[in-house]
Chain A
Amino acid sequence: MKAGKFWAWAVFILGAAYFFIPLIATVEFSLRMRRGVYSFDAYKVVLGDSQFQATFIFSVVVAIFTILLGVLIVVPTAYWIRLRLPQLRPVVEFITLLPLVIPAIVIVFGYIRMYGSNSPLPFLGSNLGANALLVIGYAALALPYMYRAVDTGLRTIDVRTLTEAAQILGAGWGTIITRVILPNVLIAVLSGAFLTFAIVIGEFTMASLLNRPAFGPYLQNLVANRAYEPAALSIIAFAITWGCMSLIQILSRFAPKSANRPN
């Protein structure tokens, strides 16, 4: 037993070293911009850079639209599958797992060939269309996570009873989904949303190949050309990911409460 505990500690400490040393190194590096002393100069330069602000805001907006599109597609589908078409579940689950099989670069390659400016659906012919296609692509990438989050949320509520109760009170489908189902799975939806946000905010492949002025390509360009600023940005990116995951954790603590409400 004692030996087991020793090994557990040894493994944990070794793992912690592997995961924390690169973070420490990056923090240390990001503080070295001013010669001889540690300073936050790199952060100041980065945060003050207008290109940083522009690309970051662009990516945040794209992430928000991605989340909205994801919710719009996933929530009604997952609800309907649970309520009326359980026999379609394997097919829908299979499709939602496809983005894990098909690499993002292949999906976006397909978009470029199918929706180019000379195609019947010229998404890439205009800026707005290309932005829309980026949002669509991200929604596809986030599909596995969004669907699983929402489906798990739906599992904890009694979809059938809630629907029938709402129908007896005279609610239409739109009202049922937006005012009955969505509030009940809100926490699950939000977890999916934050995960989507974490994935989208620094995504490089799709944004770069669709030529969008997003945060990922900006980061990439900075790594190639600067020394200290990318370190500061890496720490900022890590903090954002950390923030998203912490919010998911905090939200998951509230989840059981909402699940008990209908009972």
Chain B
Amino acid sequence: MTDLSLSNKAIAGKTAPPAEARSLRLPTQWLGVTPFFIFAVMFLILPTLYLMLGAFQNEAGEFTFANIVALFSANIVAAYWISIKVSLASSLIGAFAGLAIAIAIVRGGLPDWIRSATLTFSGVASNFAGVPLAFAFIATLGRLGLVTVLLNTLVGLNLYAHGFNLLSFWGLTITYVYFQIPLMVVIIVPAIDGLKREWGEAAATLGATQAQYWRMVVIPVLWPSFLGTVILLFANAFGAIATAYALTGSSLNIVPILLYAQIRGDVLHNAHLGYAIAFGMIFITGLANIFYIWFRTRSERWLK
């Protein structure tokens, strides 16, 4: 990823036409953006590049694939696998639930105040992650949580006796959904707003039923931005650590927590394996984001 940006910069620099012929002081053109590029190179690109190069080196600094191969040990593969599962499940559930809520508030004929209240709340909840969120779910679905206790006393349903555990795959997924749904709402509402009324009228004039209008107009138009947002949600969940760490301590072995433990105390006893884990995370979120950008540009063509 970082390589790409560097080469992009180089290309942009070379092929860029002189912005304004009348400007006499060409170097000052670039002076204006120098602080930004110094910041980006020093504190975003180089540190990442450092880890990515380190992932392909051994202790002596020689080139090797050993660290990448070591990623495929059972323990680390399991961590990646559960991370991917939690991210995928929470992004899909969040995306569909968020889409349903967005359609309900934009197209469902609900009062106006519900729309604006939902949007404000979504802005808040999509930023409400980390330790406070984890604790909110401990207070709700933990062993002594409000819902757990209420279900037990009112309905006689003991969640934990039925195998539910907040400190598990499903527990983490339900918690992550709390910031995934609002993020979906925030991003997808403008896309639904972008559906032009004329399209519905045109479809109706041509004799389309409501179902046909949805199947042949709405879904194809919304599809790219929906899919793009799913990918963004995936990356969002994949890199999250504070919520999971506060919720499960280190009992659930997801990648960010493994990396956290590695940075803290070299639990894998191999510094370069830590770099490789970081490389793997960037690889996965990077891949997801490349798809995201691709879908985004496709959907923006329609919504202009």
Contacts and interface: CB of A to CB of B under 8 A. Distances in A.
A246 B100 CA distance: 25
Q: A72, A106, A209, A249 — which one has the most chain B CB atoms within 10 A of its CB?
A: A106
B115 to A, nearest CB: 10
Nearest to A115: B47
B44 A105 contact: no
A216 B123 contact: no
B20 to A, nearest CB: 7
B263 A109 contact: yes
Contact of B44 (A12, A95, A219, A241): A95
A106 to B, nearest CB: 5
Contacts of A224: 249
B105 A19 contact: no
A76 interface: yes
Contacts of B281: 103, 105-106
Given A92-B33, A100-B232, A202-B131, A4 B108 contact: yes
B40 interface: yes
A177 to B, nearest CB: 10
A223 B246 contact: yes
Contact of B16 (A5, A88, A108, A199): A88
A139 B42 CA distance: 13
B134 interface: yes
Given A4-B108, A22-B137, A87-B17, A113 B33 contact: no
> Which secondary structure characterizes the binding site on chain B?
helix
Contact of B109 (A5, A98, A112): A5
Given A15-B97, A24-B146, A114-B46, A199 B139 contact: no
Q: How large is the interface on B (under 10, 10 to 19, 20 to 34, 35 or more residues)?
A: 35 or more
A245 B138 CA distance: 25
Contacts of A88: 12, 16, 33
Contact of B242 (A22, A106, A216): A216
B130 A198 contact: no
A21 B282 contact: no
Given A80-B32, A102-B285, A106-B51, A233 B260 contact: no
B108 A245 contact: no
A162 interface: no
Interface of B: 1-2, 5, 8-9, 12, 16-17, 19-20, 23, 29-30, 32-33, 35-36, 39-40, 43-48, 50-51, 54, 97, 100-101, 103-105, 107-110, 114, 118, 120-121, 123-125, 127-128, 130-140, 145-147, 177-178, 181, 232, 235-236, 238-239, 241-242, 245-246, 249, 256, 259-260, 263-264, 274, 278, 281-282, 285-286, 289
26 contacts: A8-B105, A12-B105, A12-B108, A15-B104, A18-B177, A19-B125, A28-B139, A73-B39, A84-B23, A84-B32, A85-B19, A98-B1, A102-B48, A103-B281, A103-B282, A105-B260, A106-B48, A106-B239, A109-B51, A139-B39, A140-B43, A204-B131, A204-B242, A209-B264, A216-B130, A219-B131
